[in-house]
Amino acid sequence: MTDILEDRLRADLVRRAASFTSHPPRHFGTRLDEDVTRPRFRRRRATIGAALVVGALAATAVPAAAAAGFAPGVADAFGWTHRTTPGLPLIPADDATGHVVMSLPASQGLPAIALLAAKTTTRGDCYTAVSQLAGKTWKAGSCGVSGVRTLTDGGGGGTGQAVLELIEAPGAAYITVGDGPGARRVPVADGVTALWLVKGELNRQVSVTSFDQKGVKLQSISIDEITGLPKTNWTGPGAPYTSSSPQP
Amino acid sequence: MSTHPPAPAPSRELRSGVDLDEDRLYRSLWPEIARLAYLLSGSETVAEDLAQEAFIGLFRAQNVGDARAYLRRSVANLATNAGKRSRREHAYLRTVPQRSYVGSDAESDDLWPLLDRLPSRQRAVIVLRYYLDWSEAEIARALNCRPGTVKAHASRALNRLRKELS
């Protein structure tokens, strides 16, 4: 004779499992072909050249509430890994606690990027994208205020040959960079993301579009890229980008 | 001077190293692995984390054999490890309203919050035993412990549930 509790467990677990529906966030490695429309987000241009310390990224994956549709502690199809690791050194220093929102390991000639976040009470949320390129540490930083963020074109640039972009896209799950079949898709965590602009995107207009978790387009901007930067010579570890190189 | 836009990048292989068969496997097994992760973790969001992590482990591993069995074991392990590491987060998640359980009856619903209060290992043993009908040996293998330990966890979990219900 079976135990009543055990019978209830069996039945309850089956019913509870049936009540939970989950679809894979995306096909592993799928690409996106989308047209741009209209979102609302902001971009901060990195001024390259700052010498800063990048904390070593902890390998521990700590599950937490999912950010913008991506699972923390898990590498998604685009190579970004979300982690929450308190205590990492954060740049700039006007924060009380820091944690890694996302990290992108080095691959295919691109350097690793750590997207660090701090929450402050007076200046809102601060984010900094930090990476190492050609032996130097680069950063893109922004301290915004919570609420609606309007689009601004940061303009300007640096004296180097690469641009580290910090993109703020509140409410977005991912952005696409570029147009048509060649568009890159980059996840967004806590409303921000970071990326290296690739060679083909420098010194020309680039479309950036944000999408929510369901793939609904939010906003599109056209980035009028930095003028004055060299149009060639993407430098950094690994081979320079060419038009036929795989993109992150 | 304008530059040509980059040529379309090759699709999934270069992006993630996952081929078409793995993609199909991912799509076909995701629902059941995510459900198992949900039962083990008690949280929808954590469940998807765990499921995704299990698939990544699968695709990186070699000579896996039975993918479903591998994923189930992996999720069980991940869930117990996650439960140990994130007790504070789980305590927070318990205060967040979860998806309503449509069609439930009050008697069945009594067990779910009780399961949530079990230590992660005990919960894993209960789920693997009563949802997947795994033997003690199978559970032991999944959780990297001895069958006797599984038995002890099951006994403690059931005793605790009976005590909570009484």
User: What band does B97 get if pLDDT is binned at 50, 70 and 90?
Assistant: very low
User: What band does B155 get if pLDDT is binned at 50, 70 and 90?
Assistant: very high
**Chain A residues with beta carbon closer than 8 angstroms to that of B101:** 15-16, 19
User: Looking at residue A244, what is its pLDDT?
Assistant: 20
Which residues on adjacent β-strands are paired with residue A184? A177
Q: Give A87-124 pLDDT, tens digit per residue.
A: 444 444 333 345 677 888 776 566 777 777 765 545 45
Cβ-defined contact of B52 to A23 (cutoff 8 Å): no
Task: Give the Cα separation of A194 and B45 in Å (integer).
Answer: 24
Q: Which of these, B38, B154, B30, lies nearest to A25 by C-alpha position?
A: B30
Residue A217 host element (H or E): strand A217-224
Spell out the SS3 assignment of B60-79: HCCCCCCHHHHHHHHHHHHH
User: Looking at residue A26, what is its pLDDT?
Assistant: 44
**B149 backbone φψ class: left, alpha, beta (φ>0; ψ -120 to 50):** alpha
Given the structure tokens 């976040």, which residue do they identify?
A117
Cβ-defined contact of B5 to A200 (cutoff 8 Å): yes
Is A179 near chain B, with CB under 8 Å?
Answer: yes
Distance between B152 CA and the closest CA of chain A, angstroms: 16
Task: Give the Cα separation of A26 and A33 in Å (integer).
Answer: 14
Q: Give A152-191 pLDDT, tens digit per residue.
A: 222 223 333 456 677 777 778 888 887 777 788 888 887 7
- Which chain B residue is nearest to residue A227, measuring alpha carbons? B1
For B:72-101, CB contacts with A below 8 A are 82, 85-86, 89, 93, 99, 101
Is the pLDDT reported for residue A12 higher than 80? yes
Is B127 near chain A, with CB under 8 Å?
Answer: yes
Residues in chain B, overall count: 166
Is B7 near chain A, with CB under 8 Å?
Answer: yes
Task: Give the Cα separation of B124 and B142 in Å (integer).
Answer: 10
Interstrand relation of A184-187 and A98-104 (parallel, antiparallel or unpaired): unpaired
- Which chain B residue is nearest to residue A178, measuring alpha carbons? B5
Q: What is the dihedral of CA B62, A21, B89, B134, to 10 degrees?
A: -60
Is B18 near chain A, with CB under 8 Å?
Answer: yes
What mean pLDDT comes out for the span B1-20?
34
Are B36 and B133 contacting, i.e. CB atoms less than 8 angstroms apart? no
Is the pLDDT reported for residue B136 higher than 90? yes
Q: Give A27-65 pLDDT, tens digit per residue.
A: 343 222 222 222 223 333 332 222 222 222 222 222 222
Who's near A218: CB < 8 A, 6+ residues apart?
A: A38, A39, A40, A41, A169, A171, A172, A209, A210, A211, A212
Is B48 near chain A, with CB under 8 Å?
Answer: yes
Q: What interhelical angle do B120-130 and A4-19 show, nearest 10?
A: 90
Q: The complex's ipTM?
A: 0.74
User: Looking at residue A190, what is its pLDDT?
Assistant: 76
Predicted structure pTM score: 0.43
Is the pLDDT reported for residue B18 higher than 50? no
One-letter amino acid for residue A173 of the chain: A
